[in-house]
Structure 1
Amino acid sequence: MARVRAADFEEKQLHILVNAAAVFAELGMEKASMSQIAARSKVSKALLYHYYPSKSALIFDIIRSHLEELDLALQAVADESQNDLPELRLRKLVRQILECYRDADDKHIVQLNCRGLLAEEETNEINELERRIVMRIADTLHEINPEINNKRPLLKPVTMSLFGMLNWFYMWFKPNGPITREEYADVATTLVLEGLKNIQ
């Protein structure tokens, strides 16, 4: 007879993922152990293995859940702002990206540093999620400047430059620093919008 899933299964799973991400972000994949993750999560190793059979399974679920949350949030913004000018929609999308990055530094570090350890099938799934996220921004940029690819294929470089500004935000941002998360989202968006006016 199949084991019935506990009522708090998803809550415990999320708790483990948050703490595993913290351990991986601090120690890296090679040095982190399942024992350390179990201790940080305040669960037994047996329970940890019940949820995740390996470190790679944990890493995959950390990255997958992080990207799925971001993708769903961006979809909601795109749906709500479909009648907005594309410049305003871009501002809303960028703000949402940085909002999803709030309190997710550890997951973000795992995504950036540990994805190379995934199996091919898992990597393909992560790549597809990332493509969907990137295309939400690229489509909006193309709407703002439909001629961006006319002379040279510049849409991808511009899109990835914006993600570069956002993805490394966690490295220098301080909550009590001179600029807020929302203000930086607008700064990054303005830099791209002003550049799009003059890009050749």
Structure 2
Amino acid sequence: MARTIAKDHDHKRTRILKSAARVFAQEGFDRASMSQLARECGISKANIYHYYDSKDAILFDMLNSYLLQLRDQVCGLCLEGLEPADRLRRVVLEILLAYQGVDDEHRVQTSGMTALPEEQQKLLRGYQRDMVVFVSDIIASISPATFKNDAAKLRATTMSVFGMLNWFYMWNAGADANARSDYAALVSDLTLSGVNGL
């Protein structure tokens, strides 16, 4: 007879992933152990193995859950009826708000993804690419003539926006929603002024 799934299965799984993100971010994926993860979660090592058969499986599920949710949150925004500049403002704000409370996951994404097999990395990079394309299309729509025949300039502009957003995450991790909103407006103003001046 098949083993039944506990009622709190999803809650425990989420707790394991959140705790793993903290351990991987602090210790580094290579140095972290299943024993450390169990201690951080407040459960036995055997219990962790009930959910995941390896540290690598935890890393992949954590990054897959994080990046998929981030991609869907950002790319799923309803921007219908908004002018290009307002679409950029809305998306930039959403990204900064989505980063709130996931500093560990973001750090592990940056430092730990290469520990995974290439096929898994490819899937995760696909989520990132979806967001980049989404933002890039919005930037291109702000000044179509500027970017029409210059894909390199569009890519550089798009990655500069992500660079500014990631700078904020690196140096203002504990910032509240108001600080994020203020900085989102600054990034949008800088981008719009810069694009219009190209």
TM-score band, normalised by the shorter chain? over 0.9
Amino acid at match of 1:3: R
For residues 133 and 48 of structure 2, the distance between their equivalents in structure 1, rounded to whole angstroms, comes to: 36
Tell me which stretches of 4 or more aligned residues in structure 1 moved more than 3 Å. Answer: 174-177
Q: Which residue of 1 aligns with 2:75?
A: 75
CA deviations over 1:143-180 (Å, ceiling 9, x no partner): 11212142562111111111111123222116469x81
Cα shift readout 1:22-52 (whole Å, capped 9, x = no counterpart): 0000010121111001100011111111212
Structure 2 partner of 1:106: 104
TM-score for both structures, normalised by structure 2:
0.93
- Matched residue type, 1:183: D
Is this contact kept in 1: 2:103–2:173, CA < 8 A? no
User: Is the contact between residue 34 and residue 45 of structure 1 (CA under 8 Å) also seen in structure 2?
Assistant: yes
- Partner residue in 1 for 2:6: 6
Structure 2 CA distance for partners of 1:109 and 1:197, relative to 1, 3 Å:
same
Equivalent residue letter for 1:157:
A
Considering only aligned residues, what root-mean-square deviation do their CA atoms show, in Å? 1.7
Counterpart amino acid of 1:137?
A: V
Aligned residue type for 1:75: C
Residue matched to 2:90: 92
Which residue is 1:19 aligned to? 19
Task: Tell me the percent identity.
Answer: 39
How big is the shift at 1:198? 1.6
Report the equivalent of 1:50.
50
Q: Secondary structure at the match of 1:31?
A: coil
- The 1:135/1:29 distance shift into structure 2, 3 A limit, reads same
User: Any idea what SS the aligned residue of 2:28 has?
Assistant: helix
> What is the number of residues matched between the two proteins?
196
Which structure 1 residue ranges, 5 or more long, are not aligned?
A: none
For 1:44 and 1:12, the matched residues in 2 are separated by: 12
Unaligned 5+ segments in structure 2 are: none
1:65 and 2:65 matched: yes
Partners of 2:3 and 2:90 lie apart in 1 by 44
After superposition, the C-alpha distances for 1:89-113 in whole angstroms (9 at most, x for unaligned) are 1111111111110010000000000
